[in-house]
Structure 1
Amino acid sequence: MFISEIEVEVRYADTDAMQVVYHGQYVIWFEIGRTRLIKDLGFNYADMEKKGFVSPVVDIRLSYKQPFRYGETATVRTWIEANSGIRTTYGYEIVNEKGDVCVLGSSVHTIVNKDTFRPVKFKKEFPKWYHVYEQKKKPV
């Protein structure tokens, strides 16, 4: 299983009135992690869009363990939890500088035609990408 990592500096703008990272910010961090994973595996999401496809989120889950505060550094770890060829589930773990797990989560994506929003088969439209995901995903 391949795990991608990227650091994110907690900005003041990421926090709420209590100086704790606003809960919606974690979804953005998931996106940063997912984009890094795709790039680390040799692909580019923008290339998918150029071919007329997008990959919307169909489900997202977050579990908060500890807060992040302004000035801290978060490490977003991302992996492919599952890949059915229709839907891909990404797993996330966000840890603090001490290595403590602060957030766990997952997001489920499908690939659709940008114009019709009808689902397409990942394996058919992006066979190389699909094959790499199959090799790098979490073992069953």
Structure 2
Amino acid sequence: MLVSKSEIEVRYAETDQMGIVYHANYLIWMEVGRTKLIQDLGFSYAELESEGILSPVIDLEIAYKKPLRYGETATVHTWIEEYNGMRIVYGYEIFTPSGEVAIQAKSSHVCVQKDTFKPIKFRKLYPVWHEAYEKAKK
């Protein structure tokens, strides 16, 4: 199983009145993790979009465990939790500087045609990506 790792410096603008990272910012960091994982596999999500394919989130689970604060560095771990050729579930853990789990999450996606939002058979249209996802998944 391939686990991609990204570091993110917590910016002041990402915190709330309590001085901790505002919960929605973790979703952005998860996107950073997905993009990095796709790059680590040798692909580009931007290139996929330029071909008229989008990958919307269809489900999201997130559990908040420990806070992160301004000035700390978050480490995002991202992997392919499930993949069946059409639907992909990415897994995430974001860690505090001391190595504690700040969040655990999963996001489910399908690939669709940009113009119609009609799902595509990813394994058929992108066999090289499909093979890489099969090899990298949990």
Question: Shorter-chain-normalised TM-score: which range?
Answer: over 0.9
1:109-128 to structure 2, matched below 5 A, reads: 109-128=109-128
SS at structure 2 position matched to 1:97: coil
Deviations 1:50-94 (A, max 9, x none): 111100000011100000011100000000000011100000000
Which residue number corresponds to residue 106 of structure 2?
106
The aligned counterpart of 1:48 is: 48
RMSD: 0.5
Cα distance between partner residues in 2 of 1:10 and 1:26: 11
Write the distance in 1 (CA, Å) between the matches of 2:61 and 2:8.
Answer: 20
Report the TM-score, using the length of structure 2 for normalisation. 0.99
Give the structure 2 partner of residue 80 of structure 1. 80
1:105 is matched by which residue type in structure 2? Answer: A
Q: In the alignment, which residue of structure 2 is the partner of 1:32?
A: 32
Listed as ranges, the gaps of 5+ residues in structure 2 are: none
In the alignment, the residues of structure 2 paired with residue 20 and residue 93 of structure 1 have an alpha-carbon distance, to the nearest angstrom, of 17
Runs (4 or more) in structure 1 with deviation over 4 Å come to none
Where structure 1 has 5 or more consecutive residues not aligned to the other structure, the ranges are none
Q: Deviations over 1:73-132 (max 9, x none)?
A: 000000000001110000000001111111000000000000000000110111100100
Measure the CA separation in 2 of the matches of 1:84 and 1:130. Answer: 9
Q: Give me the whole-angstrom Cα distance separating, in 2, the residues matched to 1:65 and 1:102.
A: 5
- Note if 1:15 corresponds to 2:15: yes
